[in-house]
Chains A and B, each alone.
Chain A
Amino acid sequence: MTVTDTGLYVYAVARGLGEADIDQMTGLGSAPLRIVTHRGLDAVVSEVGLDEFDDDALRRNLEDLQWLERVARTHDDVIRSVSSAAASAPLRLATICLSVERVRALLDQWHDALNSALDRIQGRDEWSVKLLVTPGAKDRSTVSSAVGAEDRPGAAYLQRRKNDAEDKARAVAEAEARAEEVHAQLSGSAVASRRLGLQDARLSGLQGTMVLNAAYLVDRNRTSAFTDLTDRLAAAHPALQVEVQGPWPPYSFATLEAP
C-alpha cells in the first residue's frame, strides 16, 4: 500500500499545450492545473484529495448530485479552457491516477489511440443542435368548429379532446420526419455527427417535445457556414424550434475507436 493522500485527476489529453496556456488556471478544489507531457501528449491534471476521490469516497460522492454537479461543471470548465488553447481529448469524469509516473504510463499505453482521437478532432469543434415542437400552439380554431358546440357541449368537449390528441400525434410525427431532413442536411455540412438521447423537458429547461438532439463535429474554418445553415433550416421549418449551442469541446467525437 502506498501511503498517499492525494491523487491526480486527469481532465484531458492534449497536443501542443504550453505552460502559458494553463497559467493561473485552476481545477477541482481550486488546485492549480499541471501538464504531464510524455511522447508528445500532454495530460492536463490537478491534485485532488483521496478523501474525496478514492474508491469509497467516490462511491458515496457519485450519489450526491450537488457533488456531482460541482465536479462535472469544473471538469467541463477546465476542458473548455484547454480546448480553446490546443486540440484536446476530454477524459471521462473522475479519472484518477496515483502519481505522475502512472499518468505517464497511461499516456504510453494509449499513445497511438489518443493520437488518432486527437487527429480526428484537431481544428474542429462540436456543435449541439436540438429540435423541438410545441403541438397545438396554433390551429386551435380549426378544431372546435368541426362539431356543433352549442347543443351538445359534453360531446363537443370529448370530440375536441380527441382531435387535440390526434393533432398532437400528427404534429410530432410530422416534426420527427422534418427532424430527419434537418439532421441529414446538418450532417452533410459536418465532418461527423452523432445522435444523442432526447431530453425530458424538466431537465433540458426547454419547452415542447424534443424530436432531435444531435452533436456535429464542424471544421473550425467552416463554423459560420454551419451556423448559417442552422439559421436557414430554422427559417425553412417554422414549426420547429431550433436550439443551437456551441462551440462545445469535442466530447462526442474524441473516442478511442473510430466513431
Chain B
Amino acid sequence: MTDSIAQPPTRAPAYGATSRAPNPASLADVLERVLDKGIIIAGDIRVDLLQIELLTIRIRLLVASVDKAQEMGIDWWRHDPMLNADARELADENQRLRDRLKELEPSKDDSD
C-alpha cells in the first residue's frame, strides 16, 4: 500500500443511520465485533486480555448455539436479558432492590 495518501477525503455517512436491515444491530453482532474483532493491544490492565479471550470463546459458543453452550455448562447468561425482555426487567428490578438494600443497611456486606 503505497498510494494510501491518494484516497479522496470522502466522508462516510453516519454509521448505522443508513442500515438497510429493519432492525438495529443485534447484540450478537455487536459482541461478535467488539469482542472477537478489533485490534488487540495490551493496555495497562494486564488481566483484561486473558479475560476477554475467555469471554470471547464463550460468546462465540453462545452465539453459534445456545443449546451447545448450555451443554458445556456455559450458563452465566441463563437469565440473559438479551434473550428475554422479562428477565431484563427482573434484573433491573433486582439491581434496584439490591441498591436500595445497600442504602438501608450500609453496615452489611452485600456480596453473595
Footprint of B on A, CB under 8 Å? 7, 10, 13, 53-55, 58-59, 62-63, 65-66, 68-69, 72-73, 75-76, 79-81, 83-85, 89-98, 102, 106, 110, 114, 116-120, 122-123, 125, 128, 196-200, 202-205, 220-221, 227, 243-249, 251-252, 254-256
In contact, A65 and B81 (Cβ under 8 angstroms): yes
Known: A58-B47, A125-B12, A220-B10. A245 touches B34 (CB 8 A): no
Please give the distance in Å from A210's CB to the nearest CB on chain B.
Answer: 10
Is B99 an interface residue, CB under 8 A from the partner? no
- Identity of the chain A residue whose Cβ is nearest the Cβ of B60 in the assembled complex: A197
List, in ascending order, chain B residues with CB within 8 A of A119's CB: 1, 4
List, in ascending order, chain B residues with CB within 8 A of A256's CB: 39-40
Please give the distance in Å from A83's CB to the nearest CB on chain B.
Answer: 6
Is B82 an interface residue, CB under 8 A from the partner? yes
Question: Once bound together, how far apart are the Cα atoms of A72 and B66, in whole Å?
Answer: 20
In contact, B13 and A203 (Cβ under 8 angstroms): no
In contact, B25 and A76 (Cβ under 8 angstroms): yes
Scan residues 58-101 of chain B and give those whose CB is less than 8 A from a CB of chain A.
60, 62-67, 76-77, 80-83, 88, 91, 95
Please give the distance in Å from A40's CB to the nearest CB on chain B.
Answer: 12
In contact, B77 and A65 (Cβ under 8 angstroms): yes
A-B contacts besides A68-B31, A122-B4, A200-B66, 13 pairs, CB < 8 Å: A62-B52, A76-B34, A84-B13, A92-B52, A95-B48, A116-B1, A120-B1, A200-B62, A202-B66, A203-B83, A220-B12, A247-B12, A248-B25
Question: Once bound together, how far apart are the Cα atoms of A119 and B20, in whole Å?
Answer: 27
List, in ascending order, chain B residues with CB within 8 A of A75's CB: 34
In contact, B81 and A203 (Cβ under 8 angstroms): no
Number of B residues with CB within 8 Å of any CB on chain A: 57
Please give the distance in Å from B78's CB to the nearest CB on chain A.
Answer: 10
List, in ascending order, chain B residues with CB within 8 A of A84's CB: 11-15
Is B46 an interface residue, CB under 8 A from the partner? yes
In contact, B44 and A205 (Cβ under 8 angstroms): no
Please give the distance in Å from B85's CB to the nearest CB on chain A.
Answer: 12
In contact, B15 and A53 (Cβ under 8 angstroms): no
Scan residues 1-56 of chain B and give those whose CB is less than 8 A from a CB of chain A.
1, 4, 7-8, 10-16, 18-21, 23, 25-35, 37-41, 43-48, 51-52, 55
Of the residues B45, B63, B64, contact of A58 by C-beta under 8 Å: B45
In contact, B39 and A254 (Cβ under 8 angstroms): yes
Please give the distance in Å from A141's CB to the nearest CB on chain B.
Answer: 31
List, in ascending order, chain A residues with CB within 8 A of B47's CB: 55, 58-59
